[in-house]
Structure 1
Amino acid sequence: MKKTIYALIAFLIVGMSAVNAQHEVGSTTLPDTVTFEGQELVYNGAGVRKKAWFKLYSGGLYLLQKSSNAYDIRTADESMAIKLKITSGMISSKKMINAVNEGFEKSTKGKTAPISSEIETFKSFFSDEINDGDIFDIVYIKDKGVIVYKNGTEKGVIPGYEFKKALFGIWLGMKPADKKLKNGMLGNN
């Protein structure tokens, strides 16, 4: 009888841990940790990107250690990731590329020339059809660069710390894509 009770308690503890290992963000569930290139990153926060009344995607920020300082995160030369789950059929390749253009303009205060070739490469990762449910992982690995994955498949690598700062500035800059999403990513829900 004691073994059965202990087994039940252990099962409940493990089950509760598994439940806490995920985060509900809009209609999306994001994991507590992600691992890229051997780097384990922890969930920092997340939110939903909205435009007008439409929920376009859920986005989560993953860091080596939690932080609520957008500037420090944006300028840190350390591994981190943003996970985007598309939640609307309204997102198309063309709309995503336009949003990326606008995001880099705001993030760099219009000074995109020094990283223009990197931006073009990044935009090419969104050239295939984008569907509701697609997941993009935008990962920065120190000393390697930005790696983009679509549904777990690597699309390419873009080296360069300056590009990383501008890219993460799209969501965490002074003029982010969505202020509520930025606050959510910083853990300020």
Structure 2
Amino acid sequence: MNSLSKKLAGAVLSALLLATWSSAHAARDVGGVRFEDQLTLADQALVLNGAGMRVKMIIKVYAVGLYVPRRDASAVSVLNQPGPKSVRIVMLRNVSAEQLADSLVTGIEDNASSAEQAVLRKRLEALQATMLKVGEAQRGSVIQLDYVPGQGTHITLGGKALGQDIAGEDFYRALLRIWLGEHPSDNALKRDLLGVS
């Protein structure tokens, strides 16, 4: 193979790899919900690590996208990434505030030791009280769980803040473990959020 042929082959291979990467990491559609490849939080660009659907007893409950500073297929690495992070949940059916609050708190407790639960207890109560303000999460509602360093977990519904921010990176890490912990709410969804499906 002469020099020109090698350069041409290299250029073709590079173009193919770029096209493959772009299609794998472009905006994603999950259950009719579009998750953009990037968003900005606390003046930092975050990338879509993965997106998937929470299915319970064959019922599609919500679509969710996970945004982090850099993509990673390791749950441990994602959980320990410093900086802002965001979980965007789009409801695919109506869910009562009680069901929503209970599922979040139970998901945290399923992935936390007794000692961790004791440390998180007051903040779990704050999360539950905040989620109960939703009334009913209607189909199409967008719930965003954002972590802003130095500020804490900021929860919004349809862009409007719900309750006070909940302090501590440890709390947001516990929240992420609902989907990425050793006992995730949905194993297939965990793989989707890590981009390893």
TM-score range, shorter chain: 0.7 to 0.9
Whether 2:109 is the aligned partner of 1:105: answer: yes
List per-residue Cα deviations over 1:81-137 (Å, max 9, x = no partner): 111000012x21111111112101112034411111111111222212211111111
Bigger Cα Rg: 2
In the other structure, the counterpart of 1:77 is 82
| Amino acid corresponding to residue 134 of structure 1 in structure 2 | S
Q: Please list every run of at least 4 consecutive aligned residues from structure 1 whose deviation after the TM superposition is greater than 4 angstroms.
A: none
5 Å-filtered alignment, 1:147-166, equals 147-155=154-162, 156-166=164-174
Match of 1:126, SS state, is helix
In the other structure, the counterpart of 1:183 is 191
Same amino acid, percent of matched pairs? 26
List per-residue Cα deviations over 1:149-170 (Å, max 9, x = no partner): 1111122311112212211111
Task: Kindly indicate whether the alpha-carbon contact (under 8 Å) linking 2:27 and 2:34 is maintained by their aligned counterparts in 1.
Answer: yes
Match of 2:52, SS state, is strand
In the other structure, the counterpart of 2:37 is 32
| Amino acid corresponding to residue 63 of structure 2 in structure 1 | S
**How far apart, in 1, do the equivalents of 2:27 and 2:108 lie?**
30
| Amino acid corresponding to residue 48 of structure 1 in structure 2 | M
5 Å-filtered alignment, 1:1-189, equals 22-89=27-94, 91-110=95-114, 111-127=116-132, 128-129=134-135, 130-155=137-162, 156-189=164-197
Q: 1:28: how far off? A: 1.0
5+ residue gaps, structure 2: 1-21
Q: 1:21: how far off? A: 5.3
**How far apart, in 1, do the equivalents of 2:113 and 2:31 lie?**
30
**How far apart, in 2, do the equivalents of 1:40 and 1:136 lie?**
19
When normalised by structure 1's length, the TM-score is 0.84
**How far apart, in 1, do the equivalents of 2:167 and 2:67 lie?**
19
**How far apart, in 1, do the equivalents of 2:129 and 2:44 lie?**
26
List per-residue Cα deviations over 1:51-101 (Å, max 9, x = no partner): 001000001110111111101111233211111000012x21111111112
**How far apart, in 1, do the equivalents of 2:26 and 2:51 lie?**
14
Q: 1:180: how far off? A: 0.8
Task: Kindly indicate whether the alpha-carbon contact (under 8 Å) linking 1:27 and 1:87 is maintained by their aligned counterparts in 2.
Answer: no
Match of 2:78, SS state, is helix
Task: Kindly indicate whether the alpha-carbon contact (under 8 Å) linking 1:44 and 1:186 is maintained by their aligned counterparts in 2.
Answer: yes
Match of 1:122, SS state, is helix
| Amino acid corresponding to residue 165 of structure 2 in structure 1 | V
Instruction: Determine which structure has greater relative contact order: mean sequence separation of CA pairs < 8 Å that are 6+ residues apart, divided by chain length.
Output: 1
5+ residue gaps, structure 1: 1-16
C-alpha RMSD of the superposition: 1.7
Alignment size in residue pairs: 170
